[in-house]
A and B are shown apart, each in its own frame.
Chain A
């Protein structure tokens, strides 16, 4: 059970972190660099999963993506496939819950880069996109990396929304946090202990790495 849950968590969290990195960075770039009506409202909406109880977020995910959901029903009709009770469903839950952390940290990091460097790059003939990748991103990398680590940790610990959308099927959707819950209810102390210890170590390493990165920021 431990090994299976560990492997599944690795898959779910790996996929979720990659997607969160790409989507979160794009959203952070747009929020930091573009002005449009409703911008702060969009930011607030994206932040919502951070404050909502995860089960509530999970409930909305079912309403949206479940087999009879607003979007999910079309997906089911087209492909005969549904997110519920799949590892992909667990990944979607992890993505939605971790996304706000990535956006918040990356937006702050991007906005902390002195705009003078970006202007200098423009006067040297570089487009906004090239400037972002060659100047802004490297200078904001520590804050962005810190956001990525926090997102990874959040995805790893995801429980409530995962349970709602993907269920708790050993070997299919039972990630480590769910396996701990099951081990405790089944009275399997040793397994619960081992899993809890494993997750604690990962979390400590994540916090330590984040602190170290955010303290030695050079983006001036």
Chain B
């Protein structure tokens, strides 16, 4: 279980400050962080990943303290075992799909990594992109490779930041199902950020609704 309590004051004197002040817990399965853009969802996700430091609060995952402002604990991002799927994929542009997926693998030996990368490519149905650079892949293929890359690093939780906002609607339908089955297969929690209501209702059972830096509602959906 992931428990998040964070506060952060953003902005400067010239602009009106934005206060992030959220508290929630994430269990098994897929949990949705839902809200308009600018409501603090992505900032929260980055704080959990450890690439953004809150002013105050505590982030605990599976009994391990990732962040505790009072105790001055801030585990570096590399040791947090989170997989991150970025809105714009962030596949390394100079590496092929296979190299991207193998990049974060903990396995020893080139051959083992390669075999596992091929397995991941096959699992997501993109074997044909094996030797392709990201620019030579479609949006859907890039998204699948990004998800495969995140899972290949053997994370304990996957954070997805608006992963489907850059693909067309027909691809989105298929990717939604693939993300759902990837979650079931991996048996680790997914935390999924979106501002699209239809997407939110289809992918997760638990929705945490953000508004202006606060959690305004938490609800369970029935399948």
Residues on A close to B: CB < 8 A? Answer: 114, 116-117, 119-127, 134-135, 138-139, 218-220
Contacts and interface: CB of A to CB of B under 8 A. Distances in A.
Interface string B60-81: 0000000000000000111110
A57 to B, nearest CB: 38
A121 B103 contact: yes
Contacts of B51: 119, 122-123
23 contacts: A116-B86, A116-B90, A119-B51, A119-B77, A120-B86, A120-B90, A120-B92, A121-B104, A122-B51, A123-B77, A123-B82, A123-B83, A123-B104, A123-B153, A124-B150, A124-B153, A125-B78, A125-B79, A126-B104, A138-B94, A139-B93, A218-B93, A218-B94
A139 B84 contact: no
Nearest to B154: A125
Contacts of A122: 51, 76-78
B14 interface: no
Contacts, number: 56
Nearest to A141: B94
Contacts of B153: 123-125
Contacts of B86: 116, 120
A117 B90 contact: yes
Contacts of B80: 123
A203 B78 CA distance: 45
10 A-B pairs with the lowest CB-CB distances in the bound complex, closest first: A124-B104, A123-B84, A120-B90, A122-B77, A116-B90, A138-B94, A124-B153, A125-B78, A119-B51, A125-B104
Contact of A124 (B76, B88, B94, B103): B103
A102 B149 CA distance: 35
Nearest to B159: A123
Given A121-B92, A121-B104, A139-B92, 12 more contacts: A117-B92, A119-B90, A120-B86, A122-B78, A123-B77, A123-B80, A123-B153, A124-B104, A124-B153, A125-B153, A138-B94, A219-B93
